[in-house]
Amino acid sequence: MDAQSIILHLLTPEGRADPYPLYALAHELGPVAPAGDGLVLVCGYEAARQALRDPGLGADSGLTAWGGDADSRPSLAMLSRSLLVADEPGHGRLRASMAQAFTARGVAALEAGIGRITDALLDGLEKAGGSPVDFMDAFAFPLPAHVICDLMGIPPADRARFRAWAADLSAMLEPVPGPADLDTADRVAAEVGRYFTDLVGARRAEPREDLVTAMLAARDQGLLRDDEELVANLAILLVAGFETTTHLLGNGLRLLLDHPGAMAGLRDGTVPVQGFVDEVLRYDTPVQLSNRVALTDGVSVGGVPVPAGTHVVVLLGAANRDPAHYAEPGRFDPTRRDSRPLSFGGGAHYCLGALLARLEATVAFGRLPARFPALTSAPGAEPVRRDRIFLRGHEVLPVVPNGA
Ligand code: HEM
């Protein structure tokens, strides 16, 4: 199969449900595969690592080039004001406007709170006992939602609406979002914009110890140009900081259910929890791709020239299963050492929340196996994958906490 067919298959429901056989075919084509129409697929680990760090490749327009026109789409207009797709000049100041919340020190200070939230959610699972419960609903969504909302300063009463907002908004990150999904994202972008505009107004009147207040101060220092830019970056934090971690937790739990040895290993300490989290990030990568665009001629990726304007799709999920980099890449092995998956990207856009996401997952998978040693899949209720390729995760993941 050539690279063009691989990308077309990736965009089908079957490809979205299980992209890994397609990635295996892509590896046979080499680390970098031109796919026609000014498109290049990067699936080799080293080539992906290099592409993410190459200043000749910009993040700007990579997403909107496939998805539509930022001028006519409020959701894409919001995205285009965010750090996720900003190049220099601009990216550095946008990132600095929020970075202080995500330093090692800042994140370490959240650990006790994350432990408390985790324990409360595990208490909730305990109540379900021998009855089926949806892990996504009961744990994977509420934990990161609670953490990011507390960090940003979003009142607890408003948390519930963030799940639907984040899910609807993240549709705009799909490589080829459907017009109906983009219409929904446009409507939600307007709602989220109004919500954050009001919240910013409230914090301006009465500052608090939260990220919205900190970003207001950054706006006063000139790191953010105007309120529109402030609101767009708050909205992107909502998408980037919450659903991603939700799917790390869901994908991790699914792997635990499928690999009882890993569950037992986490309990008796033979599987290190950090190693388990790394292997989940590698084996079933929550963010499957990063988009780049060649800013000038003369850029090459893995030795393949990419002329100005070429759209470079860095398939993180494929790079994490590169047979030239990982022994037996299709085997889930939580005892792998020094695996360093590319799941948080790399270079200037390296995930700002990587430490936070890792901490949440480490706390969750550090506690869950000990409290629920008999946790199993719910009989007769199949897990349902989300029909997305950019964010890979589950819609529904039925489990019985105390065993069926
Ligand atoms: C960027 C993955 C959690 C905030 C990224 C990128 C990836 C990623 C791959 C790079 C995108 C690119 O280069 O095109 C993940 C995964 C997560 C996660 C897999 C969870 C498992 C979080 C959390 C936050 C966050 C918890 C914040 C609370 C961000 C931000 C960016 C980003 C702000 C943009 C950085 C920039 O453009 O400079 N993330 N992320 N992420 N992530 Fe995460």
How would DSSP label each residue in 111-174? HHHHHHHHHHHHHHHHHHTTS-EEHIIIIITHHHHHHHHHHHT--GGGTHHHHHHHHHHHGGGS
Gap from CA of 92 to ligand 1 centroid (Å): 15
Residue 289, pLDDT above cutoff 70:
yes
- Which of 42, 87, 152, 244 for a ligand 1 pocket mutation test, highest count of atoms within 8 Å of Cβ? 244
- What's the pLDDT at 65? 46
| Nearest-5° Cα angle at 111, 395 to 105 | 120
Q: What is the domain-level CATH number for residue 98?
A: 1.10.630.10
Ligand 1: nearest atom to the Cα of 285: 19
Centre of ligand 1 from the C-alpha of residue 192, in Å: 19
Q: How far is the CA of 49 from the centre of ligand 1 (A)?
A: 16
Model confidence band, residue 68 (pLDDT cutoffs 50, 70, 90)? low
Task: Please say if the pLDDT value at position 152 is more than 90.
Answer: yes
Q: 143: buried, middle or exposed (CB in 10 Å: 19+, 13-18, 0-12)?
A: buried
Of 183, 206, 202, 197, nearest in space to 232 by CA? 197
Q: Give the separation between CA 206 and CA 213, rounded to whole angstroms.
A: 9
Q: In the structure, what pLDDT confidence band is assigned to residue 160 with cuts at 50, 70 and 90?
A: confident
In angstroms, what is the span from residue 354 Cα to ligand 1's centroid? 7
- Per-residue exposure over 74-86, b if at least 16 CB sit within 10 Å of its own CB, e if not: bbbbbbbbbbbbb
Q: How far apart are CA 387 and CA 181, in angstroms?
A: 12
Asked if 30 and 46 count as a contact pair (C-beta separation under 8 A), the reply is: no
| Local structure of residue 338 (DSSP, 8 states) | S
Residue 295 Cα distances to 40, 108, 152, 208, 307, angstroms: 14, 37, 34, 41, 8
For residue 271, the Cα-to-chain-centroid distance in whole angstroms is 24
Are 383 and 136 within 8 A, CB to CB? Answer: no
16 Rama class: left (phi>0) / alpha (psi -120 to 50) / beta: alpha
Phi, psi (degrees; rounded to nearest 5) at 392:
-105, 120
Residue 318 CA, ligand 1 centroid: distance in Å = 18
Kindly compute the dihedral angle of the four CA atoms of residues 325, 329, 334, 337, in this order, to the nearest 10 degrees. Answer: -10
Per the CB < 8 A criterion, the answer to whether 343 and 320 are in contact is yes
Print the domain residue range for 301. 3-400
Question: What's the whole-number mean pLDDT along residues 152-176?
Answer: 89
Has residue 9 got a pLDDT over 60?
Answer: yes
Contact 357, 110 (CB under 8 A): no
pLDDT tens-place string over residues 86-123:
999 999 999 999 999 999 999 999 999 999 999 999 99
Ligand 1, CB cutoff 6 Å, lining residues: 59, 83-84, 95, 148, 237, 240-241, 244-245, 248, 286-287, 290, 343-345, 349, 351-353, 356-357
Convert the pLDDT of each residue in 231-273 to its tens digit.
Answer: 999 999 988 888 999 999 999 999 999 999 999 999 999 999 9
- Kindly give the distance from the C-alpha atom of residue 236 to the centroid of ligand 1, in angstroms, as a whole number: 10
What is the number of domains present in the chain? 1
Query: Distance between CA atoms of 162 and 153, rounded to whole angstroms?
Result: 13
Ligand 1 atom 38, closest CA: 349
**Closest residue by CA, ligand 1 atom 42:** 351
**ipTM value for the complex:** 0.97
Choose between 281 and 173: higher pLDDT. Answer: 281
How many angstroms does the Cα of residue 381 sit away from the middle of ligand 1? 32
Nearest CA to ligand 1 atom 2: 344
What mean pLDDT is predicted for residues 331-354? 97
Give residue 61's pLDDT band: very low, low, confident or very high (50, 70, 90).
low
3-state SS class at 105? helix
